[in-house]
């Protein structure tokens, strides 16, 4: 019986083996997931080539007549804020939401944040500690005289321009707002590092404060529960953000509007995504068709 049983088992497995079909090898149909395009601009103001990550909205066609609002994102590298901020725009473009007009997003890849996003400081320790700092004037010239004209010439942008910046990027966005406000129509300023140079930027006399300023400007300022800032002259980030908002609210121009958003459940590391989401809701309070 053992011999018969053994023969049966061997016969069964042999038949099973021969009955199997050859395993077919599936072709590799994978392809890259494309979120946008990577462009470059050679900057004379900065003396270097800068990488741009650019999101073009669904339906974008360089040959049609439609033009789109443009959002300029500081810290716009692929491993920084570009992907998740673009996701917020794409999400708000869904037809069942339709809160934000389809927009071009220009992510400016980072090279040296402290060099590009800070103005000169009078604090000697910071001068020695951050040797490359203090050249925001060059970066603002880059934005005004090179980047914006480059985007307007190559891509189908309209006159609506927004800037988004957080931390040191928020400091730069605040400096642009106070010193060159006409560069953008909308400002999304998140957890700005206004403590730089002991918050001297808050003392700037800005064109937006006077009644003759007639460019419609909407400002969102978001800040979390962030407490004392680092440095030898610590300040409270929430207080500085509130002082900036109060300074802007004192404007005599009827074209300037500011909204301060306090997010107590967020800190400096987590605030960017929820703040930008809230900002889009504030800056676009009703459904829009791209105006």
More confident residue, 72 or 285: 72
Residue 141 above 90 pLDDT?
yes
For residue 70, the model assigns a pLDDT of 98
Q: What is the mean pLDDT of residues 28-41?
A: 88
The Cα–Cα gap between 157 and 79 comes to: 25
Tell me the CB-side half-sphere exposure of residue 276, using CA atoms within 13 A: 25
Residue 221: CB atoms within 10 Å: 26
Cβ burial of 28 (10 Å; 0-12, 13-18, 19+) is exposed
Q: What is the mean pLDDT of residues 268-273?
A: 95
For residue 10, the model assigns a pLDDT of 46
For the residues of the chain, what is the DSSP string, one character each? Answer: -HHHHHHHHHHHHHHHHHHSPPPPPPP---------EEEEEEETTTTEEEEEEEE--TT--TTSS--EEEEEESS-STTTTHHHHHHHHHHHTSTTT--S---EEEEE--S-HHHHH------HHHHHH-TT---HHHHHHIIIIIIHHHHHHHS-EEEEEEEEEETHHHHHHHHHHHHSGGG-SEEEEES--TTGGGGGGGG---GGGSTT--S-EEEEEEEES--BPSSSS--BHHHHHHHHHHHHHT---TTEEEEEEEETT--TTT-HHHHHHHHHHHHS-S--S--
22-34 per-position pLDDT tens digit:
667 778 888 888 8
220-266 per-position pLDDT tens digit:
999 999 877 776 677 889 999 999 999 999 999 999 999 999 999 99
For residue 291, the model assigns a pLDDT of 43
Q: What percent of the chain has pLDDT over 90?
A: 79
Mean of pLDDT over the chain: 90
Contact 98, 66 (CB under 8 A): no
Residue 9 above 70 pLDDT?
no
User: 168, 185, 194: which is closest to 72 by C-alpha?
Assistant: 185
Cβ burial 37-48 (10 Å sphere, 16+ → b, else e): eeeebebebbee
Q: What is the pTM of this model?
A: 0.88
For residue 136, the model assigns a pLDDT of 98
Residue 101: CB atoms within 10 Å: 19
For residue 12, the model assigns a pLDDT of 46
- The structural domains of the chain, ordered by start, are 36-283 (3.40.50.1820)
């Amino acid at each position: 019986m053992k011999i018969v049983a053994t023969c049966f088992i061997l016969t069964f497995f042999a038949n099973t083996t021969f009955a199997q079909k050859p395993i077919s090898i599936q072709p590799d149909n994978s392809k890259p997931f494309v979120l946008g395009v990577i462009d470059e601009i050679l900057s004379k103001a900065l003396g270097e080539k800068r990488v741009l990550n650019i999101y073009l909205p669904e339906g974008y066609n360089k040959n049609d007549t439609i033009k789109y609002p443009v959002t300029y994102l500081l810290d716009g590298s692929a491993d920084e804020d570009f992907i998740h901020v673009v996701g917020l725009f794409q999400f708000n473009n869904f037809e069942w939401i339709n809160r934000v007009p389809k927009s071009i997003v220009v992510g400016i890849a980072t090279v040296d944040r402290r060099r590009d996003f800070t103005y000169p400081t009078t604090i000697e320790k910071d001068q020695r500690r951050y040797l490359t700092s203090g050249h925001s004037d060059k970066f603002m010239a880059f934005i005004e005289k090179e980047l914006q004209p480059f985007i307007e010439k190559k891509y189908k942008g309209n006159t609506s321009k927004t800037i988004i910046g957080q931390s040191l990027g928020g400091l730069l966005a605040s400096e642009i707002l106070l010193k060159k406000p006409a560069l953008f129509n909308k400002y999304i300023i998140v957890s700005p590092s206004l403590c730089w140079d002991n918050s001297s930027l808050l003392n700037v006399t800005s064109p937006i404060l006077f009644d003759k300023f007639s460019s419609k400007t909407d400002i969102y300022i978001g800040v979390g529960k962030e407490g004392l800032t680092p440095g030898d002259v610590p300040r409270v980030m929430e207080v500085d953000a509130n002082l900036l908002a109060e300074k802007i609210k004192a404007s005599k121009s009827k074209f300037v509007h500011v909204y301060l958003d306090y997010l107590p459940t967020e800190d400096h590391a987590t605030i960017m995504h929820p703040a930008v989401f809230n900002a889009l809701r504030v800056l676009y309070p009703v459904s829009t068709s791209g105006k």
